[in-house]
Structure 1
């Protein structure tokens, strides 16, 4: 396993070996990367994530090998040579090729021919020595074999299967597919005019090299096929493939050669090409999935680590026209204090009443910020808010509400607000997203947050695994206030999980706030391992021991006490005191298990304990003259917010219903390798309008430097 992982990751042997040992001890990635740097050689969470990935792949391969060996033993066909080949292979495709001749498949043409006693005839033809083949074949005319032609056809079916099972032939066709395969589409004419088909119009009659097709295009084409708008075909030069097989197999010019040639064509068209072209398409799809999942993971990380406003009192509005604007007031901890519906927009048009209500609530609840959802009537509601003359300085934010409706109808929302309907819950979510995006967004299935690229078309198991890992890393890199965190947020803390999160939540409700990290040990079923893995990521504000509100692990408290004692100070004196901390000679505190990486982390944390790695939320204002796509003109410069990033560019919210696209070619005057090097999710930028296609609701933009 270690050898395999090193081959795939190129990571140091000792680091890989120790990481696997830690994983086998049920340690989590955040814990290992943060608190076991000496053992891993300072590997980060991405490198440890790769070790986990290849460890899982190796174990899956090992499991498959055992299943194949068992099946071969049961068939009594396992030789020492075959066993050695199976055990030494490190590739699942090569493994399946080795097993292919022994697979118990459905009743094939070749199997039927064997049952009719035609395998000896097939061997005679393959030897290419027979002169009077028809006379030889006549001997096999009996039972279900009614004629010489039946006998020869059956023998050819057996030969075709042998050809299909040849590893060298399969690998050659694979190689040709890897290099030369073209993917093409043909529109299904009866469906071409349907409205749903129009988004795939660019791919109605398309052809491209399969190895070079971008991931987003392949996924779009496969979705168009799935929805029944196009037919997809994979092609290579058949003559080149057939010529290779013929050169490998045909050594004579007699009647045997003709039958072998016929069998080659049958094997290629019926067995080899359908199977291997599907395999090539599946590999391309897996590669596209990996790329799309990578994009989604990057976007999700940026979204989850979005700038929080912090503990401020917020008035949140879920805007609407006919149904009104749902309004809630939240305290600094996100607790619901008041809710109401106002009707400032058509058809009721009670703008004055709405402004008076918002103004009075802002005074009554000492509101410090207003959060407006970016859905229907968002711009109109923002314009209304900006007309109000508040007594105090109140910041106004437009908040991305993607997924808020899913949260509001979820079990989590029902548990939090059993006495309120979905509209109130949705408004609360909008307000809390402003206060702390991470704490609120973890309550929603990441696939519903709207920052992916064909996320519903990729392998859902791999996607979920990747996104869960992103959420876990984000939650643990920020840390969690154990006394205010929701169950979903607690469940992502290293070593905790859903069941212990519920136990923590219930314990807190029954016994009040935790006052120290030692209190965490009193939670039912939270044992020593869970405490080791999670304690340092759980923060306790206002704790007697200041280290309980830091990322210093409890196992290192003794080191900090010794540092303070050696300086003739208390631990409290070290907190935030850069002058004192720089006088510490870290080498004197090194032990067999604690080295400089951990000690440097401790000092860094003591300088700014519990420091939030995220930026602070900033107010942003769209161009107030742009309300619909019809207001856009080529050449306009507009403020916008990046709301999604893909491999082909990024989408930008310019304050209207439709997002505009900055294609990669319009991000920079030089070649763009990675979109993330030029823009970040939720980044505030200036864009230039290049093209507006009103019927198709498409907007082309350019990044303005």
Structure 2
């Protein structure tokens, strides 16, 4: 335990007490959202990111310890484990050093060095490495027997053994690693016969490219590696070979005789055959891993912003999935998101039934008392929006353009088939568009996060890491907002702290059989939902209009007794405390602090009583594009246009300006000064004003600048 805590402390710089208590809570199967929200006094108010870091380094340490156990067992079986080696392995704090220590003892495939040993050439190699022998020709002659037919073969075999020894030296490997880390360059050239390949043109910037590997940004490295994987370019990692060889020679060669000449040849062989191929790959893999981490971080931030996007709330919504030839799919949803009506209209080419479409939409809006219209932002979106804005509705109806990203994934999914078994994918897609206007979080959790399409190169990064990061983001978002247990889908319930897919199914089934939950206490009746699951989940599950007003708040049931005591002391009912700022401020906090309830927890309880179940998300706002801009041909340099950020990367952000092509605000055009973090200036789905800098119609590229109003 001490080693684990020390390891985490070294990597996070967090207080030792906070780490220790957090690890204990994690070992008790507590979730990150639960620890961050309800165990602040034990963790010293660590947030979810800090707790997530502890989880990450805890897992790294446990993986390292597991690998140590495997290696020690293997070395014991080979009977080569010395006390010194055992101590070195036990004291190792990183996987690379551990694998270097194990390298000389790995049971590898048949190598040139192993063949040379079998031919009895190891003693000759040791003589050469001693560097004090003369007349090596005569010495080598003694080893010409069996498979070895000449002195040259004997010396060559000895060099293979020496090359392997050099390859296994940790100091030499680390020297080369430093050079690769500091000065390696990545170079690319177009693959044979690929320069004219149409599919390769998007990678043409890398047909001949060179830069320092350590300064190659995440998005560029991932693009280069994708181009290589698709066979369009060849990639090399290069360093100054002479400098690398000289650095190795200085560590080994201590003489100027025949032995030194043989060692110099062995060094070159080791470098070219063993050291450089392995360590350059290691360096490229490390760069790829860092690029993955950056890309995953960008993607995670985007997903978080998307999930926590502004909800319109419980409104009666008409949703339209636009299209030309196949028409526009129209659905009407009630305030709870239930499908009430669906049909198809054909206002655009080739049918051009605009009058019929306007009449139909107008009558549906009246019949279903529609309060808002959601239009998907895909094909025919602008044309459909212009059509809707022509209609003179009897009542005020807000019109929104909604991102369709991932809607097609949802509409063909098992979840969608279960929700709407009697409707086809087009109807399901339209429903999804409408529901994500009402509550983006509740609808988007039904789609695998990486399919939402707001990242960069998400299909090229480590998929396990990506899934872990995105699952954590979704879990964090769901629990930060809270979930109405009586209306939540299985998908939403599955992300509640302590629940998961199986219990979510059980909660859903219980609700279907018994009707709405009337109290948090009733949650305990759900099959297989035990004490630990209740502890972890109850504070995040809300019950509106239940028996106990605290059930619709983030106050945890474990604190209900404390709230009742505060109310009793104030000679009031618990319901009298809720929203009563004046009374809540008068509560003497120090009176209720105890061994089990600290000041941080108490402050959270009082804040929650003031605004119970508060949704911190902003309200959805209507947005209108410039109606005069219909295609890329309408753009002119210097124009100021309204836009919506539809993707954020670490090199800038893409902006929907109401046409098919999104424009790019490069990171250098986000502000007049230096910008290190794109997210510090823009966020996903933010409504902004941009200035058109350049329009390349042939390549369909639009360069924009963030305009400061």
1:694 aligned onto 2:697: yes
The list of structure 1 runs, each at least 4 consecutive aligned residues, that deviate by more than 6 angstroms after superposition, is none
Matches within 5 A, 1:397-408: 397-408=400-411
Instruction: Tell me which residue corresponds to 2:442.
Output: 439
Asked whether 1:594 is paired with 2:561, we answer no
Tell me the residue number matched to 2:249: 246
The residue correspondences of 1:373-452 to structure 2 (distance < 5 A) are 373-452=376-455
Give the corresponding residue for 1:190.
193
C-alpha distance in structure 2 between counterparts of 1:189 and 1:689, whole Å: 39
Q: 1:71 & 1:694 partners in 2: Cα distance?
A: 63
> Which range moved further: 628-637 or 370-379?
628-637
The CA distance in 2 between the partners of 1:38 and 1:222, in whole Å, is 46
Find the partner of 2:260 among 254, 257, 260: 257
Kindly indicate whether residue 506 of structure 2 is the aligned counterpart of residue 503 of structure 1: yes
Matched, 1:681 2:684: yes
Equivalent residue in structure 1 for 2:292, among 289, 292, 305: 289
| TM-score, length-scaled by structure 1 | 0.99
Q: Aligned partners of 1:580, 1:329: CA distance in 2, in Å?
A: 45
Aligned to 2:673: 670
CA distance in structure 1 between the partners assigned to 2:596 and 2:674 by the alignment: 47
Structure 1: how far apart are the matches of 2:14 and 2:254?
Answer: 49
**In 2, distance between residues paired with 1:485 and 1:27?**
23
Instruction: Note the C-alpha offset of 1:519.
Output: 0.9
Q: Partner residue of 2:577?
A: 574
Aligned to 2:56: 53
Residues 1:547 and 2:547 are matched in the alignment? no
String of CA shifts for 1:432-481, please: whole Å, max 9, x gaps.
00000000000001111111011111111001000000000000000000
How far apart, in 2, do the equivalents of 1:693 and 1:646 lie? 21
Q: Which residue of structure 1 aligns with residue 491 of structure 2?
A: 488
**Structure 1 CA distance, aligned partners of 2:676 and 2:540?**
35
In structure 2, runs of 5+ residues without a counterpart are none
Cα distance, 1:194 vs. partner? 1.8
Alpha-carbon distance in 2 for matches of 1:48, 1:621: 41
Cα drift, residue 195 of structure 1:
2.0
TM superposition shift of 1:626: 1.0
Answer yes or no: is 1:168 the counterpart of 2:171: yes
The whole-number CA distance in structure 1 between the counterparts of 2:196 and 2:513 is 62
Whole-angstrom distance in 2 between the partners of 1:651 and 1:49:
29
Distance 2:195 2:635 in 1: 30
Residue 253 of structure 1: SS of its match in structure 2?
coil
TM-score calculated relative to the size of structure 2: 0.99
Match of 2:461 in 1: 458
Are residues 1:108 and 2:107 paired?
no
Between the aligned partners of 1:507 and 1:415, the Cα distance in structure 2 is: 17
List per-residue Cα deviations over 1:79-99 (Å, max 9, x = no partner): 000000000010111111101
Is 1:224 the counterpart of 2:218 in the alignment? no
- Counterpart secondary structure, 2:661: coil
Q: 2:240 aligns with which of 237, 240, 243?
A: 237
Cα shift at 1:698: 0.8
* Partners of 1:485 and 1:195 in 2: CA distance: 47
Specify which of 157, 160, 167 is matched with residue 157 of structure 1. Answer: 160
Per the TM alignment, residue 136 of structure 1 is displaced from its structure 2 partner at its CA by 1.4
Match of residue 349, structure 2, among 329, 346, 349:
346
1:662-694 per-position Cα deviation (integer Å, ceiling 9, x unaligned): 001100001101111111111000001111111
CA offsets 1:383-407 (integer angstroms, 9 cap, x no match): 0000111111100000000000000
Q: Deviations over 1:572-596 (max 9, x none)?
A: 1011110111110111000101111
State the distance in 1 between where 2:134 and 2:186 align. 44
> How far 1:203 moved relative to its partner?
1.6
Q: Which runs of 5+ in 1 are unaligned?
A: none
Q: Corresponding residue for 1:335?
A: 338
Residues 517-539 of structure 1: per-residue CA shift (max 9 Å, x gap): 01101100000000000001000
CA distance in 2, matches of 1:660, 1:562: 58
Match of 1:473 in 2: 476
Q: State the alpha-carbon separation in 2 of the partners of residues 43 and 128 from structure 1.
A: 59
Equivalent position of 1:359 in the other structure: 362
Cα distance in 2, alignment partners of residues 274 and 356 from structure 1: 70
Q: Does 1:145 align with 2:144?
A: no
Shift of 1:632: 1.0
Give the corresponding residue for 1:657. Answer: 660
Kindly state the Cα deviation for residue 134 of structure 1 after the two structures are TM-superposed.
1.4
**Paired residue secondary structure (2:208):** coil
Q: Within 5 Å, which residues of 2 pair with 1:200-215?
A: 200-215=203-218
Q: 1:534 aligns with which of 509, 523, 537?
A: 537
SS for the counterpart of 1:211 is helix
Matching of residue 519 in structure 1 with residue 522 in structure 2: yes
Aligned residues: 705
1:37 aligns with 2:40: yes
What is the deviation of 1:189? 4.3
- Choose the corresponding residue for 1:97, options 92, 100, 108: 100
Q: 1:279 aligns with which of 262, 279, 282?
A: 282
- How far 1:365 moved relative to its partner? 0.7
Aligned equivalent of 1:62: 65
Within the alignment, does 1:604 sit opposite 2:607 as a pair? Answer: yes
SS of the counterpart of 2:214? coil
Evaluate the alpha carbon distance shift between residue 189 and residue 690 of structure 1 in structure 2; reply closer, same or farther with a 3 A threshold: farther
CA distance in 1: counterparts of 2:481 and 2:558, whole angstroms = 20
Query: Does 1:181 find its partner at 2:184?
Result: yes
Cα deviation for residue 187 of structure 1 reads 1.1
In structure 2, what is the Cα distance between the partners aligned to 1:447 and 1:201?
Answer: 27
